[in-house]
Structure 1
Amino acid sequence: MTQFLVTKFIKDSENINDLKVREKYGTLSSFVGIACNIILFIFKLIVGTLSNSISITSDAFNNLADCATSIITLFGYKLASKPADKEHPFGHGRMEYILSLILAIIILLVGYELIKSSIIELINPTKIKFSYVSMIVLIFSILMKIWMSAFNKKLGNKLNNSAMLATSKDSLNDVIATSATLVSLIVSGFSDLMIDGIMGVVVSIFVLKSGFEIIKDTVDDLLGQGLDKETVEIIKKHINDEPMVIGYHDLMVHNYGPGKHFGSAHIEVRSDEDLLIAHDAIDLIEKKIQEETGILMSFHIDPINMDDKETKYYYDKVKSIVRAIDKDTHLHDFRIVTGDTHTNLIFDLVVPFDIKLKDDEIIEIINNGLKDEPIKIFISPTIENKYV
Structure 2
Amino acid sequence: MTDNTNNNNADLSQSATSNGHLQDKLVQDSITHNQSISAQAQARQSPAPHTVNAKAVTKNSHANDFTHVQDLPTGTPQGQQTTMPNNNTSHNVNSSTDNDAAQSDTQSTKQTRFNQRDDINNPHTPDTDGNEETHFGYKTVNKAEKQARVADVFTSVAKKYDIMNDLMSFGIHRLWKRYAISLSGVRSGQHVLDIAGGTGDLAKVFSREVGRNGHVVLSDINAAMLEVGRERLINAGCNNVDFVLANAETLAPFDDESFDLITISFGLRNVTDKDAALKAMYRVLKPGGRLLILEFSKPVFEPLSKAYDLYSFTALPIMGKLIANDSESYQYLAESIRMHPDQQTLKQMMQQAGFENCDYHNLTAGIVAVHRGFKA
TM-score relative to the length of structure 1: 0.22
- Structure label with greater radius of gyration: 1
Query: Greater relative contact order: 1 or 2 (C-alpha under 8 angstroms, separation 6 or more)?
Result: 2
Which structure's residues are more often helix, by fraction? 1
TM-score relative to the length of structure 2: 0.22
